[in-house]
Structure 1
Amino acid sequence: MHKLLTVLVCLLPLTAFAEAQDPCLTQRNTIEINACGQKQFEQSDRSLNQVYQSLLKKFSDKDTPDSQNSVIKQYLVNAQRAWVTFRENDCKAIYTYNEGGTIRTIAYLGCMTQHAAQRTKDLKEFSSSDQ
């Protein structure tokens, strides 16, 4: 029993340290709120990139001389580039609108995260509708 108690006492500071390192668990100030927003954006952007790359690969794997997969793939690439430009400009507008306040960074990151989540959903729907 004494050994178990010793182990638990040693582990408690480690869990507290881990929680302190995750800004999304505390969010006590603007810096932590922004760090959490950045973390959430990076996660959503990573997910988007995985789905997008998977979709491109899906059309690359099926390339044959008589298929339209290369045309579809090029449309997807063009659409993604246009979407990235749209997302950046849309979120920069939000950032600029909030430029005088401390909310500007989290508003920008929230915009970027929401757009990435929606685009991920759209690409997943496109992929699942493929015959």
Structure 2
Amino acid sequence: MSDPRVLWKAISARWIAAGAIAGFCMFDACAQDTCDTATQPQELMSCYQINFEKQQAELKRLLRKLQAVVAAADDSAGIDKKAVNGNLARAQTNWQRFIEQDCHAQFQFVGNGTARDGVELACLVRHYEQRIRELHQWAR
């Protein structure tokens, strides 16, 4: 389901218009890490938003952990700690730019439907999940 048009058709009935997303969750589906049990558009959008916010916090935590791992690395190992941290920071900045552009392109591709915000948010969630998995491998 990588084609945004297919994704849009599959979920369009479940999304709501922009601006109607609640800033808090009052649904049982949001207490879970997945939004599979969400049945109403408001539930789904709220659930995705909450999961996205959790992922943002987890990503920040992992980046701090990686910086600590680099700082604690054995100096005799020949690791250029400054270069590692600089490359990590640049990679993160470039990754952020990439996902913003990628997800906004999917948002634009959907057109003027009410699903476009959901498509963009789902795209961000997928990218964050992948980046978190990658950083977990690094931070071991």
TM-score by length of 2: 0.67
Which stretches of structure 1, 4 residues or longer, exceed 6 Å deviation after superposition?
Answer: none
Partner of 1:94: 106
State yes or no: 1:112 paired with 2:117: no
Report the CA distance between 1:111 and its aligned residue: 0.7
Distance of 1:63 and 1:74 partners within structure 2: 18
Root mean square deviation, CA, Å: 2.4
Distance of 1:70 and 1:78 partners within structure 2: 12
Distance of 2:27 and 2:52 partners within structure 1: 14
Give the counterpart of 1:42 among 53, 61, 65.
53
Percent of pairs with identical residues: 25
Say which structure, 1 or 2, has more relative contact order (CA 8 Å, 6+ apart): 2
Distance of 2:92 and 2:82 partners within structure 1: 15
Aligned residues: 109
Contact 2:65 2:139 in 1 (8 A): no
Report the CA distance between 1:75 and its aligned residue: 0.5
Report the CA distance between 1:27 and its aligned residue: 3.8
Distance of 1:23 and 1:91 partners within structure 2: 27
Considering only CA atoms, is the larger Rg found in Structure 1 or Structure 2?
1
Cα shift readout 1:63-108 (whole Å, capped 9, x = no counterpart): 85x6411111110011000000001111111111123212111211
Report the CA distance between 1:22 and its aligned residue: 2.8
CA distance 1:32–1:95, change in 2 (3 Å): same
Q: Which residue identity does 2:71 align to in structure 1?
A: S
Instruction: Output aligned runs, 1:46-125, within 5 Å.
Output: 46-62=57-73, 67-125=79-137
Partner of 1:21: 26
Distance of 2:57 and 2:69 partners within structure 1: 18
Contact 2:107 2:120 in 1 (8 A): yes
Partner of 2:6: none
TM-score by length of 1: 0.71
Contact 2:70 2:81 in 1 (8 A): yes
Cα shift readout 1:4-23 (whole Å, capped 9, x = no counterpart): xxxxxxxxxxxxxxxx7136
Cα shift readout 1:101-129 (whole Å, capped 9, x = no counterpart): 1211121111111101100111121233x
Contact 1:23 1:36 in 2 (8 A): no
Contact 1:45 1:113 in 2 (8 A): no
